[in-house]
Amino acid sequence: MKLERAFFAATAIVSVAATAAMAQSDATTLTIATVNNGDMITMQGLMDDFNEKHPDINVEWVTLEENVLRQNVTTDISTGGGQYDILTIGTYEVPIWGANGWLVPLDDLPAEYEVDDIIPAIRDGLSVDDTLYAVPFYGESSFTMYRKDLMEEAGLEMPDAPTWEFIRDAAAKMTDRENDVNGICLRGKAGWGENMALLTAMSNSFGARWFDEDWNAQFDSEAWSNTLNFYLDMMEESGPAGAANNGFNENLTLFQQGKCGIWIDATSAGQFVVNDDSTVAEHVGFAQAPDTGLGKRGNWLWAWSLAIPTSSENVEAAKTFLTWATGPDYGELVANEKGWVAVPPGTRSSLYENENYTGAAPFADMTMASMNTADPNNPTVDPVPYTGVQFVAIPEFQGIGTQVGQQFAAALAGQQSAEDALAAAQELTNEEMEAAGY
């Protein structure tokens, strides 16, 4: 009895407190969970414009590092949501969460939003059965960034569409470890969104795949062995020390400091390698991601996107925010503050027809070309039962991808051979898939 009464008393206090908190403001408050990437931080700096247009909407930011963001957002949504009104998630989560009915469908966006302007491949990736569940804030494929000056010194010229053999050869020639120049920088840090994004996309160009049509793991295939061995050998010849700890951000820093000859990574890095932080800005050239002549290039497709969970009580206000943040006018807003080069890339086709942008962003054409060749519905040489270029769009992938990534990172750190890493990956993937009921 006592317990029950205490419990009721406690709930009463809490609900009084909650009502009091709500009564404080008439304006709608949106809570937005977002990742601490440069483009998002720029957006937070532009809030004056939004507040001016929509004085009745307050925006609260929860800006977190990517891994912590995932922890928070996933915990929230899978326990019924309620903490956030807008989530920043990627092309991996959107189809899964959309299909689970956790996201508000965005098929009624106003005409001036010009939804058809969004790059088709991205729009596809954010839709389930042709219903849009999230809008892209910035999109990316992957491409090759290289130092023209070092290439020239090595007596080479980068073709627009290089092969992996060429990259390896060029990297070896540029490497000058005495002077702290590494021919190639690639992701090595374990994680499904870190080294596995690169390696999965790379494996596609080597003719490998994650699963065959019956969902059997394919790490015992020759194609995977070729991929991993090629990657490990190349990194040993020309990669930086400590590559196994380098993710996107670490490699970006290395490249900006002039310590990399070639860096194959996200097209969204384009604006950062040519900005003021970069000591090599004037020497950077861009090319497509490499291939091996099998018909697939190792370039992925990703978009950090904004979605509204169905648990949100402020869906209309949230939609207003989405149309502002990803709408056709946002680009110009950024351009006025920070210059055209800083406009979030990879979401709207019109941006790539805008001469202000293509004039300011030397990576624009190559970005568009890369985005157009990535095909999530048809990512591999051999047929597969899944979609996604650098990921497998099933809920289990997050866990499996990271664990496989850890095996490969350990191989890169020299703690095990490529064969052992592949065998371990094969075993754990099958183990997990079996547990998941495939």
Partner 1 sequence: MATQHSRSAARLMIAPAVFVLLVWMLIPLCMTLYFSFADYRPMRATFEPWIGFDNYVSFVTSSSFTNSVITTLQMVGGILCITIAGGIALALLLDQPIFGQGVVRILVIAPFFVMPTVSALVWKNMFFNVDNGLFSYLYKALGLQPYDFLSQAPVFSIVVIVAWQWLPFATLILLTAVQSLSSEQLEAAEMDGAPGWARFWYIILPHLSRAITVVILIQTIFLLSVFAEIFVTTNGAFGTRTLTYLVYQRVLESQNIGLGSAGGIIAVILANIVAIFLMRIVGKNLDN
Partner 2 sequence: MARAITTRKKVMWTALSWGIGLLIFFPILWTFLTSFKTEATAIADPPVWFAFDWTLENYRAVQERSNYPLALTNSIIIAVGSTILGIAIAVPAAWAMAFVPGRRTKDVLLWMLSTKMLPAVGVLYPLVLLAKWLGVMDSRILLIVVLMLINLPIIVWMLYTYFREIPGEILEAARMDGASLRNEIIYVLTPMAIPGIASTILLNIILAWNEAFWTILLTTVDAAPLTKFIASFSAPEGLFYAKLSAASMMAIAPILVMGWFSQKQLVRGLTFGAVK
Binding site for partner 1 (CB under 8 A): 67, 70-71, 74-75, 78-79, 96, 100, 189-191, 240-242, 244-245, 250, 253-254, 257, 259, 395-396, 398-400, 402-403, 405-406, 409-410, 412-415, 424, 427-428, 431-432, 435-436
| Window 11-40: contact mask with partner 2 (x via CB under 8 A) | x--xx-xx--x---------x-x--xxx--
Residues with Cβ within 8 Å of residue 161, at least 6 apart in sequence: 287, 288, 291, 297
| Minimum CB distance to partner 1 smaller for 31 or for 406 | 406
36 binds, among partner 2, partner 1, none (CB under 5 to 8 A by kind): partner 2
Supply 76's token pair: 């929230």
Site size for partner 2, by CB under 8 A? 40
240 binds, among partner 1, partner 2, none (CB under 5 to 8 A by kind): partner 1
CB 133 within 8 A of CB 123: no
Distances (CA, A) of 305 to 32, 68, 169, 344: 12, 17, 37, 12
| Minimum CB distance to partner 1 smaller for 71 or for 336 | 71
16 binds, among partner 1, partner 2, none (CB under 5 to 8 A by kind): none
Told to check if 41 binds partner 2 by CB under 8 A, we report yes
**Phi/psi of residue 342, nearest 5 degrees:** -90, 5
CA gap 259, 437 in Å, rounded: 46
Residues with Cβ within 8 Å of residue 131, at least 6 apart in sequence: 98, 105, 106, 107
1 binds, among partner 1, partner 2, none (CB under 5 to 8 A by kind): none
Told to check if 417 binds partner 2 by CB under 8 A, we report no
Q: Which of residues 75-114 bind partner 2 (CB under 8 A)?
A: 75-76, 79-80, 82-84
- Residue 352 DSSP code: G
CA gap 306, 321 in Å, rounded: 10
CA gap 253, 261 in Å, rounded: 13
57 binds, among partner 1, partner 2, none (CB under 5 to 8 A by kind): none
CB 122 within 8 A of CB 116: no
427 binds, among partner 1, partner 2, none (CB under 5 to 8 A by kind): partner 1
Closest distance between partner 1 and the C-beta of residue 424, in Å? Answer: 7
Q: Which of residues 218-257 bind partner 2 (CB under 8 A)?
A: 247-249, 252-253, 256-257
| Minimum CB distance to partner 2 smaller for 14 or for 293 | 14
CA gap 205, 216 in Å, rounded: 20
Which has the closest alpha carbon to 403: 159, 165, 217? 217
CA gap 343, 327 in Å, rounded: 12
Binding residues for partner 2, per CB under 8 A? Answer: 10-11, 14-15, 17-18, 21, 31, 33, 36-38, 41, 44, 60-66, 68, 71-72, 75-76, 79-80, 82-84, 247-249, 252-253, 256-257, 272, 277
